[in-house]
């Protein structure tokens, strides 16, 4: 088993034992990527905040670099984790299943689903049956080949400057990325620009509240299946009112729902009795939440 950035952490070492011998039906955990097709670095709009005494990557105790919070290079360090059963991105698979529930089926041949910040393509198996052409955009040159292996047409780029024309997409999703960019309103405005009138926008992210910070950083970063340490910068968590206003200005009335893992499923997952955990809707949107809405038509109404 290759050594990864998280292999040294106690919980992963523990969960790794139960992961041995399992395989996720959609992909091999240790596959190698050989084809990207997109060359050169893409300028990132992501801020990489610096803390006193931490001015750049330096070796962690087990060798891999310890990076500043929200450093996009973390996704390259963790590239072999996207599809690893019980790996560092496990919870993204559960959230993707919940995101897919908000994606409508294609209503025309050639319907286009744009997956902004698609990462390693974790959404793909959950939307495959819906009949869209699935195009995924991401900054990460190591994640995109994995997305391609899962049937996504990969495009390397920045979610804040989408390389797509106006009103081309039937559905736009942006999962677990608003909390990684400096200007979430710009992301929403770009997403709405490329969305056709009547098209559906689906988002999920973390609220800028004490509960968002506590549940997604203080707690989740220490739990099996939670995000890798330092992946999130709580300073970038999302102001829900500002998000709703930005979407409204762009012609999308957003409906928000909270999301949390089923505690029973999580216990069963911990003890190896479940392969995945269902994400449940909650009334409170103060932590992890989903948002969705349809872009108004020319007449100003959802079609």
Ligand X SMILES: C[S@@+](CC[C@H](N)C(=O)[O-])C[C@H]1O[C@@H](n2cnc3c(N)ncnc32)[C@H](O)[C@@H]1O
Query: Considering only 9-17, 39-47, 208-216, 286-294, which stretch makes contact with ligand X by CB under 6 A?
Result: 39-47
Residue 216 touching ligand X (CB under 6 A): no
Applying CB under 6 A, among 47, 65, 72, 224 the residue interacting with ligand X is 72
Residue 45 touching ligand X (CB under 6 A): yes
Backbone angles phi, psi at 171, to 5 degrees: -140, 135
Site string for ligand X, 143-182 (x = CB under 6 A): x--------------xxx--------------xxx--xx-
Applying CB under 6 A, among 71, 80, 90, 138 the residue interacting with ligand X is 138
Residue 96 touching ligand X (CB under 6 A): yes
> Using CB atoms within 10 A of its CB, is residue 42 exposed (0-12), middle (13-18) or buried (19+)?
middle
Q: How far is the CB of 145 from ligand X (least distance, A)?
A: 12
> Using CB atoms within 10 A of its CB, is residue 118 exposed (0-12), middle (13-18) or buried (19+)?
buried
Applying CB under 6 A, among 5, 66, 122, 252 the residue interacting with ligand X is 122
What number of residues does the chain have?
A: 303
Taking the mean position of all CA atoms in its chain, how far away is CA 82? 11
Q: Where are the alpha helices (DSSP H) in the chain?
A: 10-19, 73-77, 90-100, 124-127, 144-149, 184-194, 210-213, 240-249, 263-270
Compute how many residues bind ligand X; rule: CB under 6 A.
Answer: 23
Residue 119 touching ligand X (CB under 6 A): yes
Residue 206 touching ligand X (CB under 6 A): no
Beta-carbon contacts of residue 299 (< 8 Å; ≥ 6 apart): none
Backbone angles phi, psi at 27, to 5 degrees: -175, 160
Residue 49 touching ligand X (CB under 6 A): no
Residue 190 touching ligand X (CB under 6 A): no
Residue 47 touching ligand X (CB under 6 A): no
134-145 in b/e form (b: 16+ CB < 10 A) is bbbbbbbbbbbb
Cβ distance to ligand X smaller for residue 203 or 296: 203
Residue 225 touching ligand X (CB under 6 A): no
Cβ distance to ligand X smaller for residue 112 or 155: 155
Q: How far is the CB of 151 from ligand X (least distance, A)?
A: 15
The CA distance from 256 to 202, in Å, is 10
Q: Which helix (H) or strand (E) holds 261?
A: strand 255-261
Cβ distance to ligand X smaller for residue 175 or 293: 175
Q: How far is the CB of 165 from ligand X (least distance, A)?
A: 18
Residue 275 to residues 12, 85, 214, 242, 266, Cα–Cα distance (Å): 16, 9, 26, 36, 10
Hey, how many other C-beta atoms are within 10 angstroms of the C-beta on 103? 20
The CA distance from 74 to 292, in Å, is 28
Cβ distance to ligand X smaller for residue 176 or 208: 176
Query: Considering only 111-119, 214-222, 272-280, 288-296, which stretch makes contact with ligand X by CB under 6 A?
Result: 111-119
Applying CB under 6 A, among 19, 66, 78, 92 the residue interacting with ligand X is 92
User: Which positions touch ligand X (CB under 6 A)?
Assistant: 44-46, 72, 75, 92, 96, 117-119, 122, 138-140, 143, 158-160, 175-177, 180-181
């Amino acid at each position: 088993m290759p050594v990864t950035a998280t292999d040294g952490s106690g919980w992963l070492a523990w969960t790794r034992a139960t992961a041995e011998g399992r395989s996720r039906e959609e992909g091999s955990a240790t596959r190698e990527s050989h084809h990207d097709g997109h060359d050169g670095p893409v300028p990132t709009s992501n801020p990489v905040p610096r803390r006193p005494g931490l001015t750049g990557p330096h070796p962690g105790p087990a060798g891999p670099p310890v990076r500043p919070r929200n450093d996009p290079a973390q996704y390259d360090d963790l590239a072999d984790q996207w599809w690893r059963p019980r790996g560092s991105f496990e919870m993204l698979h559960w959230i993707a299943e919940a995101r897919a529930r908000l994606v409508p089926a294609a209503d025309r041949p050639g319907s286009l689903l744009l997956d902004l910040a698609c990462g390693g393509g974790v959404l793909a198996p959950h939307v495959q049956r819906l009949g869209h052409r699935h195009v995924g955009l991401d900054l990460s040159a190591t994640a995109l080949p994995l997305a391609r292996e899962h049937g996504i047409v990969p495009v390397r780029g920045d979610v804040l400057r989408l390389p797509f024309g106006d009103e081309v997409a039937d559905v736009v999703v942006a999962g677990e990325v608003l909390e990684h960019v400096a200007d979430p309103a710009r992301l929403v405005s770009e997403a709405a620009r490329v969305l056709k009138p009547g098209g559906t926008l689906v988002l999920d992210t973390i609220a800028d509240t004490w509960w968002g910070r506590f549940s997604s950083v203080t707690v989740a970063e220490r739990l099996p299946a939670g995000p890798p340490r330092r992946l999130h910068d709580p300073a970038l968590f999302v102001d829900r009112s500002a998000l709703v206003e930005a979407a409204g200005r762009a012609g999308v009335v957003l409906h928000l729902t909270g999301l949390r893992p089923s505690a029973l499923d999580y216990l069963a997952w911990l003890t190896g009795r479940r392969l995945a955990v269902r994400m449940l809707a909650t009334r409170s949107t103060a932590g992890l939440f989903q948002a969705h809405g349809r872009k108004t038509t020319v007449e100003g109404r959802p079609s």
